[in-house]
A = this chain, B = another copy of it.
Amino acid sequence: MTKHDADLDELRDRLGDRLLTGDEAMAPYTRDASRAVPDGAPIAVVRAESTADVSAALSWAHAANIPVSVRGAGTGLAGGANAYRGGLVLSLERMNRVLDVDVANRLAVVQPGLVTAQLDARCREHGLFFPPDPASARICTVGGNIATNAGGLRCVAHGVTADSVAALEVVLADGRVMRTGARTRKNVVGYDLTRLFIGSEGTLGVITEATVRLKPVPEGRPRTFRASFASVEDAGRAVTAIVNGPTPPEVLELMDALSVEIIEAYFPTGLETPTGAMLVGQTVGPDAAARAEAITRVCAEHGADDTGVSDTDALLEARRRSNPALNARGLKISCDVGVPIAALADVFRGVAGISARHGLRVSTVAHAGDGNLHCTVEAEGSPAGIAAADRVIDDITRLALALGGTISGEHGVGSLKLHELPWQQDAVALEVQRAIKAALDPLGILTPGRAV
């Protein structure tokens, strides 16, 4: 019996069957939805049911100096939730309750393991909705959204997850429990710890409760619009014009020709492949139809050869399925870059050039209204094929940075993008982040070696 095995008995005494061991039982908890491969088997999985469970698990791991990975539903795309060899996995899937919906203040208090779409559904019973809307909303969790500051389809209208979080309960690396934020609209007391933990990818603390901001469901039926372009660059220019125009939409997505083909092959809905790219989006509110028509006119002015408005959202459903459709084709080597909104045409032209130069096909879906692109390289599964695809991703990432962009718009850095960090951030910014990490987690047990 090793020292760790002995230690583990203490934790088992505390947690009972909320502690899982054995490779088979632990297997579903060892990796996220990315291609990043865990470096070995963990020693145990804690399926926490309360803040006290999380605190006990972290106190134990801290005393034993064991690395901890944290997970909600494991839908992450950057390797951030993968298990560590000999580490502890902390799963929050059982902490999935809505603790309060405060209609008059438009707030909800939730546990981190709640599935995002379930929160949204609960709010809609009260005429409110939860603005964050990642494409994976039906399977991902609110805690994971907050830990990665997830984006999604409605960001163009409502901002990122961080913009919908008012307050948190967090368990620190050594098991101490703290609260951040307030239930008010304005609060300037001390440092913005809420924002510090949001998007910190499990490296600073574990979120055990969140107070989130809600908005009223717009009146009337939403409308879905579409516009097909012969050129993806024209589609990019149309997006810049729409976003800067008088009727910004609720959703504004782009799928290039190859991605439409891939989605249609996997989820056939009769989607017609454009020559260059297709924009799809949604408008809401009492004048949703007029807004959608106005947007299609802007598209036509920018060269769209086919446009339409409908009151069903089959096209958005297709867009939501791009990730499973791409996954179904095997290894997915992709990026999550962002560019300023006026650089969209430039980045699409550049991606086409990079694809041609490397002789590898690239499909692109984009939260176009946010300037956030997911480009996926068609790669052979061999080590050489993967390396070739990675070089394409590196070139696209450097292009985005050259255009004033970011290496990650919404998926986070995790382990997959760690090498890109110094491309975007200066040495002092990296030092400051490491100093903060060391101040809050001196032993470095929380999601070590990732995100910063």
User: A residues engaging B (CB < 8 A)?
Assistant: 102, 104-107, 148-149, 151, 155-156, 160, 162-163, 172, 176-180, 182-193, 195-196, 198-200, 204, 216, 219, 240, 244, 246, 338-343, 367, 370-372, 404-413, 417, 421, 424-426, 428-433, 435-436, 438-440, 451-452
- Using Cβ atoms and an 8 Å threshold, which residues of chain B touch A193? 429, 432-433
- Rounded to whole angstroms, the CA-CA distance of A162 and B163 in the bound complex is 11
**A104, A204, A371, A372, most chain B CB atoms within 10 A:** A104
From the candidates B179, B188, B200, name the one contacting A412 in the complex (CB within 8 A): B188
The distance in angstroms between the C-alpha atoms of A181 and B392, with both chains bound, is 25
Q: How far is the CA of A163 from the CA of B178 in the complex (A)?
A: 25
Chain B residues with CB under 8 A of A219: 246
Set of chain B residues within 8 Å of A163, measured between Cβ atoms? 163
CB distance from A398 to the nearest CB of B (A): 14
CA distance A341 to B183 in the complex (A): 9
Give 23 A-B contacts (CB < 8 Å), ordered by A residue: A102-B340, A105-B341, A148-B188, A149-B188, A151-B186, A160-B186, A162-B192, A163-B163, A172-B432, A180-B429, A182-B405, A184-B371, A185-B341, A186-B372, A188-B406, A188-B408, A189-B408, A189-B413, A189-B421, A193-B429, A195-B196, A196-B436, A436-B440
Q: Are B406 and A436 in contact (CB under 8 A)?
A: no
State the CA gap A240–B409 with chains docked (Å).
Answer: 35
What's the Cα separation between A436 and B192 when bound, in Å?
Answer: 11
Contacts of A451 in B (CB 8 A): 190
CB distance from A328 to the nearest CB of B (A): 26
Q: Which residue of B lies closest to A367 (CB)?
A: B186
Q: Which residues from chain B contact A182 at a C-beta distance below 8 Å? A: 338, 404-406, 424
Q: What is the bound-complex CA distance between A246 and B186, given in angstroms?
A: 21
Tell me the minimal C-beta distance from A429 to chain B in angstroms.
5
Closest to A341 in B: B105
Cβ-defined contact, B106 with A185, below 8 A: no
Q: Contacts A195-B196, A342-B104: A189 and B439 contacting too (C-beta < 8 A)?
A: no
The reply to whether B186 and A338 form a contact with Cβ atoms under 8 Å apart is yes
Q: What B residues does A338 contact at CB under 8 A?
A: 182, 184-187
Residue from B176, B189, B432 within 8 A of A425 (CB atoms): B189
**Given contact pairs A191-B196, A338-B182, A435 touches B439 in the complex (Cβ within 8 A):** yes
| Residue contact A191 to B186, C-beta cutoff 8 Å | no
A298–chain B nearest beta-carbon distance, Å: 15
**Smallest CB gap from A409: residue in B:** B186
Query: What residues of B have a CB within 8 angstroms of the CB of A426 in the complex?
Result: 178-179
Partner among B191, B343, B372 whose Cβ is within 8 Å of the Cβ of A436: B191
| A187 B428 Cβ-Cβ under 8 A | no
B372 close to A409 (CB less than 8 A): no
Residues of chain B lying within 8 A (CB to CB) of residue A342: 102, 104-105
**Across the interface, do B409 and A187 meet the contact criterion of CB distance under 8 Å?**
yes
Contacts of A191 in B (CB 8 A): 196, 199-200, 204, 433, 436, 452
Partner of A155, one of B149, B172, B185, B189: B185
| Cα of A123 to Cα of B149 in the assembled complex, Å | 30
- Contact at B188–A244, with CB atoms within 8 Å? no
**Separation of A176 and B428 alpha carbons in the complex (Å):** 7
Question: Nearest chain B CB to A422's CB is how many angstroms away?
Answer: 11
Say yes or no: A185-B371 contact (C-beta < 8 A), given A178-B428, A178-B432, A192-B198: yes
Residues of B with C-beta under 8 A to A428: 172, 176-178
Known contacts A183-B405, A184-B338, A186-B406; 14 additional CB pairs below 8 A are A104-B240, A105-B340, A156-B185, A184-B339, A184-B340, A184-B404, A184-B409, A187-B338, A188-B199, A189-B408, A190-B452, A191-B204, A195-B196, A219-B246
A184, A372, A412 pick with most chain B CB within 10 angstroms: A184
